[in-house]
Chains A and B, each alone.
Chain A
């Protein structure tokens, strides 16, 4: 039998798994990671590296020292907050791709407070920045929410586009009116006063934002699992028609969810400027708002799982640099990271769907 006839006779069908046993849903991610590492190992061997040594270095770099672990946490803070933010919206099938922009607007608003009141005491400027950070992100989330709720404008596009607007807005400030007068006209604002920054934990860069992020996870969990509002969000996510039929106010929920989602990303932006950079500057986010989307999906939109995933993902990013200092070029590291992600996401799809080979019926 020739190959083409075989192809003609059979086809692949993708169908949704109705029941996924808990055993399978544990096994599959594990297998995907193992497979990813195996494929990565072949790739590394072909490029003339010793795969086991490289993996050892990656693991040790991320999780093998106090510094590595602390840096995982530092990376995990913005990932957790933005991950929770998009997960909340995704639960309602609101495709908020705009966490990056909301992050920037939160950073902008918090910086505005810090720069406007350089002599304010800590008990005033800290809460002020926190609120401003939340509000900045929330407003940026509300814009596409209003368009979606009242005019039915697709939020995937608007949230994505608003990212560029937010990033360029921050650029225009740091290149223009907000430049530090003592900064030789470099694109940096003045440094915040010490009242506007929080001390870090010991010799590490872990900052108080970690409590904010953990609290956010708890709050989101409680909202989704134990409140009427959370129930409404989940119902809308299952079926908007059913929700409307049940008398749930969809418009109100779109606005509220995007407000909270944007606000959370804004808080992440606040943490970054207040605790890490201590000033507003360009490219303050290393793409956290986009990575958040992967984090949220890998965490299956579950706050606890997102917590774990953001920590692991933080390690993934830290380990990437250690692999480089083990002698791998950056491009190889990116390919390896991409391969691992690809396998994990593919495994994730396989837990939800199954692929079967079926015989074509003649009547087609």
Chain B
């Protein structure tokens, strides 16, 4: 007993001494006080970790771009904030003196609206929601346009005519993506089907990978995803199949499998909106940016994508960029084969934002309304 106590004493002593030394070594390198103009303090609330290689990573790239391109700003992030804690973190940031707060997940919506009511002088920008206030704007991109283009690649390159789609939640955003992708696939390959598996999670690399594996076992030879990690791409790589990623260029996680990915490019938008705020020109709005604004696009093709496919995608891309045609232009049939969008008719934003049905060619179900 005695010996043990003595050992414990020495361990503790050494420990404290080391600590003291380390404390000394760390000189107080406070950042020099901001010279001249007062900096605009901008904060970002993230749902995932910045290293997720997907959704949050893409926003983080946007933030870095913002820091490089706009002078006199100070940015800060709080990552891995669950939806229910959005209100808490946003209030905390306001109290720390942040003047502009970007909340980058749908689930923060109610919380942001509540905080915004209490602090009318702070500007909030909420990604992917639908509620606004005089000091709350929303922003999102028409990712379905890039999804459609990636669908063309998949439709051209599948051999089994079965494409697997690992999807997070049956909400309109995801359903819209699946539909756009499927329209792209079927435009070049009417025999192909898109098989959907729901994971009920945005970010769970192991589960996402397992979902992709189950699709590969059912005979799918291309995997795409509406998930935040490169897990499904890795599953495709291991099986020797092809993969179309999402959010960011995921080629380094699956060098052989990766074909392309619909990607977010938030940077230019962040720069634009912060400049507007600095010039006092900002007004609350609902921004749903098209591909022509550069907020969405396709990651560079891999070597596996042949020239004729690239050409075809480029043609369609130019058509979409011109604004003369958009993805959800009729005739569009639903899974039962009934016409839902008439020939030549374009779906309204309202209808696209509340998508709750699948187009023809999708194998999968959406939970029914009563």
Interface on A for B, CB 8 Å cutoff?
38, 41-42, 45, 50-52, 61, 65, 67-68, 71, 74, 171-172, 175-177, 179, 183-187, 203, 205, 276-279, 281, 283-286, 318, 321-322, 324-325, 327, 329-331, 356-357
Q: How far is the CA of A356 from the CA of B2 in the complex (A)?
A: 11
Q: How far is the CA of A195 from the CA of B15 in the complex (A)?
A: 58
Please tell me if the beta carbons of B1 and A321 are within 8 angstroms of each other in the complex: no
Please tell me if the beta carbons of A325 and B49 are within 8 angstroms of each other in the complex: no
Residues of A within 8 A of B171 (CB): 175, 185-187
Please tell me if the beta carbons of B92 and A67 are within 8 angstroms of each other in the complex: yes
Please tell me if the beta carbons of A330 and B79 are within 8 angstroms of each other in the complex: yes
Residues of B within 8 A of A203 (CB): 118
Q: How far is the CA of A276 from the CA of B85 in the complex (A)?
A: 10
> Smallest CB–CB gap between A35 and chain B, Å?
8
Residues of B within 8 A of A329 (CB): 49-50, 79
Interface residue from B1, B88, B93, B354 paired with A71 (Cβ < 8 Å)? B88
The 5 closest A-B pairs by CB, nearest first: A176-B367, A177-B370, A330-B80, A45-B22, A184-B354
Please tell me if the beta carbons of A65 and B369 are within 8 angstroms of each other in the complex: no
B169 within 8 A of A: yes
Please tell me if the beta carbons of A41 and B19 are within 8 angstroms of each other in the complex: yes
Give 8 A-B contacts (CB < 8 Å), ordered by A residue: A175-B367, A176-B369, A177-B370, A185-B356, A186-B171, A283-B83, A329-B79, A331-B49
B interface, how many residues as a size bin? 35 or more
Residues of B within 8 A of A278 (CB): 110
> Smallest CB–CB gap between B356 and chain A, Å?
5
Q: How far is the CA of A177 from the CA of B370 in the complex (A)?
A: 5
Q: How far is the CA of A170 from the CA of B157 in the complex (A)?
A: 40
Residues of A within 8 A of B93 (CB): 325
> Smallest CB–CB gap between A121 and chain B, Å?
24
The residues in B between 19 and 62 inclusive whose CB is less than 8 angstroms from any CB of A are: 19, 22-23, 26, 28, 43, 49-50
Please tell me if the beta carbons of B354 and A177 are within 8 angstroms of each other in the complex: no
Interface residue from A183, A277, A325 paired with B84 (Cβ < 8 Å)? A277
Please tell me if the beta carbons of B49 and A50 are within 8 angstroms of each other in the complex: no
> Smallest CB–CB gap between B348 and chain A, Å?
12
The residues in B between 94 and 152 inclusive whose CB is less than 8 angstroms from any CB of A are: 95-96, 106-107, 110, 118, 130
Please tell me if the beta carbons of B49 and A330 are within 8 angstroms of each other in the complex: yes
Please tell me if the beta carbons of B16 and A186 are within 8 angstroms of each other in the complex: no
Q: Which residue of A lies closest to B368 (CB)?
A: A176
Please tell me if the beta carbons of A184 and B15 are within 8 angstroms of each other in the complex: no
Please tell me if the beta carbons of A286 and B85 are within 8 angstroms of each other in the complex: yes
Given contacts A325-B92, A325-B93, contact A175 B106 (CB under 8 A): no
Please tell me if the beta carbons of B92 and A61 are within 8 angstroms of each other in the complex: yes
Please tell me if the beta carbons of B1 and A284 are within 8 angstroms of each other in the complex: no
Residues of B within 8 A of A50 (CB): 26, 28
> Smallest CB–CB gap between A75 and chain B, Å?
8
Residues of B within 8 A of A324 (CB): 77-79
B170 within 8 A of A: yes
B172 within 8 A of A: yes
